Amino acid sequence: MSIETLPPDPPPVTHAGEAPPPDRRGIGAVMLGGARQLVVPILSLVTALVIGAIVIILSDPEFIAKVGSDPGAALAAGFGSVGGAYGGLLQGSIGNPFRDIGPVTETLLRATPLIFAGLAVALGFRAGLFNIGAEGQIYIGALFATAVGIGFTDLPLLVHLPLAVAAGFLGGAVWGFVPGILKARTGAHEVITTIMLNYVSYLIVDLALRQVFFQLPGRDDPISKNILPSATLPRLLPDERLHWGLIIALLAAVAVWWLLFRSTKGFEFRAVGLNPSAARYAGMNISRTVVLTMMISGGLAGLAGASEILGTNLRLTPNFSPNWGFDAIAIALLGASRPVGVVFSAILFGALRAGAAPMQVQTGIPVDLVVVIQGLVIIFIAAPALVRAMYRIRVARTTGTETFSKGWGA
């Protein structure tokens, strides 16, 4: 049994009549505390890259051909492939930002929907809800945004665009409301209902795109009309695809942070997530909190869909999301359900996605390697004990300052 599960029984350190010691935690300690939280995610990433390297070596045809006859040359070839692959990833995701900002903007472009969706899942986690339905909420949000984006003509940009973005939020919120109300009223578990609603949403989008209102004239396949320019998210830089969706995503992250940590509703969300019976004891309405959380979570996911359609794709098609809603679960986990963590995790995932295609072009290593690395990161994040064991990190739950809180009255 580990120390983690059996906290020790330390002796009291306080003395009779002693006032509570002042807060000794300086800014340094607070920052150190933050750094400690980064240890596991960073080590997880490093470990995933190392194992990814092994996978590259083992799947390198030159390595396999030579490993029997000339192990040295085989290894050299293997390492060459690893260098090529990771170099390609870096080239595609960062490159040389001073000469060409392109790769960086591509990374941020890919990170944008992941930030929204990651925030959606993280918000759910905070309230103790496992929203696996971000994918479906993305689709319904995209559908609503598209409807507004193609449906209103002659509106000025300053009216039309916010309306279209808001419609995206609304669509996702509606799609989050359904599992929320089902859970609150009937106890139906949100994991089941959101997964099932994902399928419903795919088919709703497919069906809608075959209706006259949505379908691009002259096409038989499900594809929408183009988003009107007045509802299009402007580009941030003239020659790059990166658009205002990123700014909205970053604002959403700030908003979610404020909601969670500075508002009464967030207080309720977190209390319900950490201890529902104490929340009930404190007079909070659990059902209402569940419904509201699912709606906001769904709305955030809906924004991912809206931002993608209004900023990047400019028309809605089925299967436009490469599983952002599921990557979002990983991103929320990697980001420890903190808005700032979600932003950085989403950028990391965006970089992997942005770098994957250039890597394949340069080295012939398939983009699937990126999926392998993502999967490995998630495994290590989900099993922090594994990472701690590998790197022999001691869990020091009881630190010096904390002993002051134990025992009293002596």
Partner 1 sequence: MKLELKGITKRFPGVVANEGIDLTVMPGEIHALLGENGAGKSTLMNVLYGLYQPDEGEVLINDIRVQFSDPGDAIAAGIGMVHQHFMLIPVFTVTENIMLGVESTSGPLLTLDRDAAKHRIVALSEEHGLRVDPDAYIEDLPVGVRQRVEILKTLYRHSNLLVLDEPTAVLTPQEIEDLFEVMRSLVKTGTSIIFITHKLNEVREIADRITVLRRGKVVGTTTADESDESELARMMVGRPVQLEVTKGVAKAGDDVLTMRGVTVLDDRLQVAVNEVDLSVRAGEIVAVAGVHGNGQTELVEAITGLRKIQSGAIEIGGAPAPGDPRHVYAAGVGHVPEDRLEDGLVVGFTVAENMILNSYYLEPFASGLAIHQEPVRKVAEDLMREYDVRTPSALNDIGNLSGGNQQKVIVAREFSRPLKLLVAAQPTRGLDVGSIEYIHKRIVAKRDEGTAVLLVSTELEEVLSLGDRIAVMFQGRIVDILDPSEATPERLGLLMGGAHPEEGLTPVETTA
Question: Quick one: which of 28, 218, 239, 394 contacts partner 1 (CB under 8 A)?
Answer: 394
Contacting partner 1 within 69-88 (CB under 8 A): none
**Total residues at interface with partner 1 (CB under 8 A):** 51
Q: Which two tokens stand for residue 362?
A: 């340069």
Residues 23-42 that bind partner 1 (CB under 8 A): 23-25
Residues 289-318 that bind partner 1 (CB under 8 A): none
Asked whether position 8 contacts partner 1 by CB under 8 A, the answer is yes
Q: How far is the CB of 395 from partner 1 (least distance, A)?
A: 9
Least distance from partner 1 to the Cβ atom of residue 5, Å: 10
Q: For the packed helices 157-186 and 190-208, what is the interaxial angle rounded to 10 degrees?
A: 140
Beta bridge partners of 243: 235
Residue 3 lies near partner 1 (rule: CB under 8 A): yes
Segment interacting with partner 1, rule: CB under 8 A, options 132-140, 152-160, 186-194, 398-406:
398-406
d(CA 219, CA 39): 52
As measured in angstroms, the least distance from the Cβ of 126 to partner 1 is 10
Report the alpha-carbon distance of residue 297 to residue 175 in Å, rounded. 10
Shortest spacing between CB 282 and partner 1, in angstroms: 4
Which lies closer to partner 1 via its Cβ, residue 2 or residue 69? Answer: 2
Taking the least distance from each CB to partner 1, the nearer of 159 and 410 is 410
Nearest CA among 53, 112, 46 for reference residue 244 = 112
| Distance of alpha carbon 248 from alpha carbon 244, whole angstroms | 6
Cβ distance to partner 1 smaller for residue 391 or 408: 408
Under the binding rule (CB under 8 A), the answer on residue 162 touching partner 1 is no
Minimum distance between the CB of residue 33 and partner 1, rounded to whole angstroms? 11
Q: Residue 229 has what DSSP assignment?
A: G
Contact 380, 387 (CB under 8 A): yes
Closer to partner 1 by CB, 153 or 277: give it.
Answer: 277
Q: Which of 11, 26, 72, 156 binds partner 1 (CB under 8 A)?
A: 11
Q: Which span (6-14, 209-217, 300-308, 344-352) binds partner 1, by CB under 8 A?
A: 6-14
Contacts of 176 (CB under 8 A, 6+ apart): 131, 133, 137, 294, 295, 296, 297, 298, 299, 301
Q: Least CB distance from residue 25 to partner 1, whole Å?
A: 6
Pick the closer one to partner 1 by CB: 4 or 100. 4
Site residues for partner 1, window 232-291 (CB under 8 A)?
262-265, 267, 270-271, 274-275, 277-284
d(CA 179, CA 130): 11
What is the 3-state secondary structure of 106-164? HHHHHHHHHHHHHHHHHHHHHCCCCCCCHHHHHHHHHHHHHHHHHHCCCCCHHHHHHHH
Closest to partner 1 by CB, 99 or 394: 394
DSSP 404: G
Judged by beta carbon, residue 30 or residue 58, the one nearer partner 1 is: 30
Q: Are 193 and 177 in contact (CB under 8 A)?
A: no
Q: How far apart are CA 216 and CA 231, in angstroms?
A: 17
| Binding interface with partner 1 (CB under 8 A) | 1, 3, 6, 8-14, 16, 18-25, 262-265, 267, 270-271, 274-275, 277-284, 394, 396, 398-410
